[in-house]
């Protein structure tokens, strides 16, 4: 099944324009679609009580690039109560480039929004002053209309840059307007900047490559062990599938 033939390309899924944009833009860089194991590529399930069963759909899409990208993958979920776009680019460790991370989650009463260039090394070792300035300016532009959520804990915050977009919006018409307009514009700006940097980066030496491998593995292990989506995913798909999805797809090392 092609993702273009699913609910995730239709207007009644709130993140459809974001997904289309990232797929279209990655295709411009000659990325190659990644084969996803069938048990994760598409899944239909039901959740809720026997008297109130609800349907939920999951689709996983991914690409690689022979030089620049180990994997870029999107996990998409649609149901009456939950809509999720979780997207991560893991760059090749031949280049000193952070992750590109998106976590847009619609829960029954709130939208949780995270968008960032996520570091795999210390900030000063991975971001130029020019890049930090660009990111912070983009963040300020976004948060001029979308409220900034509370400060992250130090443990979690070390995996985000000073340019992280982080918000909680109530599920109401005004929030959907902000998502469709300001957040979508910011998402495009972040993705375009990231791909520009990734595909213009120069190869680094072997010592730095080893640091990057360790940094990426530390990030992926932390996310695998502490994924806040675990309870939601377990309620939708069961514990066994959830653990397998987290370890084999979301944050595989």
For tokens 């598409």, name the residue: 42
Note the pLDDT of residue 77.
98
Please tell me the distance from the alpha carbon of residue 45 to that of residue 29, in angstroms, as a whole number.
34
Note the pLDDT of residue 153.
86
Q: Name the nearest CA neighbour of 111 among 194, 18, 240, 248.
A: 18
- Residue 155, pLDDT above cutoff 90: no
- Residue 253, pLDDT above cutoff 90: no
Neighbours of 44 (CB within 10 A): 8
Point out the least confidently predicted range of 30-39, 149-158, 175-184.
Answer: 149-158
Note the pLDDT of residue 160.
97
Note the pLDDT of residue 1.
84
Cα separation values, 219 from 98, 118, 135, Å: 11, 9, 21
Domains of the chain with CATH codes: 3-202 (3.40.1500.20)
SS3 150: coil
Question: Which helix (H) or strand (E) covers residue 187, if one does?
Answer: helix 184-200
Note the pLDDT of residue 217.
97
- Residue 49, pLDDT above cutoff 90: no
């Amino acid at each position: 099944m092609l993702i273009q033939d699913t609910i995730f390309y239709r207007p009644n899924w709130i993140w459809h324009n974001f997904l289309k944009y990232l797929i279209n833009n990655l295709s411009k860089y000659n990325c190659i679609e990644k084969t996803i194991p069938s048990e994760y590529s598409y899944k239909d399930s039901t959740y809720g009580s026997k008297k109130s069963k609800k349907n939920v759909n999951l689709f996983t899409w991914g690409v690689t690039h022979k030089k620049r990208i180990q994997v870029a993958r999107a996990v998409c979920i649609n149901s009456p109560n939950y809509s999720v776009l979780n997207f991560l680019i893991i760059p090749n460790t031949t280049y000193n480039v952070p992750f590109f991370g998106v976590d847009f989650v619609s829960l029954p009463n709130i939208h949780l929004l995270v968008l960032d260039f996520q570091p795999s090394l210390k900030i000063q070792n991975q971001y130029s002053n020019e890049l930090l300035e660009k990111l912070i300016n983009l963040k300020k532009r976004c948060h001029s209309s979308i409220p900034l959520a509370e400060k992250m804990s130090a443990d979690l915050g070390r995996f985000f840059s000073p340019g992280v977009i982080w918000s909680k919006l109530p599920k109401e018409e005004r929030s959907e307007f902000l998502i469709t307009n300001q957040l979508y514009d910011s998402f495009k700006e972040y993705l375009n900047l990231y791909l520009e940097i990734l595909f213009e980066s120069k190869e680094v030496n072997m010592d730095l490559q080893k640091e990057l491998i360790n940094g990426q593995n530390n990030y992926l292990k932390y996310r695998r062990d502490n994924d806040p989506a675990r309870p939601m995913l377990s309620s939708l798909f069961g514990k066994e599938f959830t653990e397998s999805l987290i370890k084999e797809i979301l944050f595989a090392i």
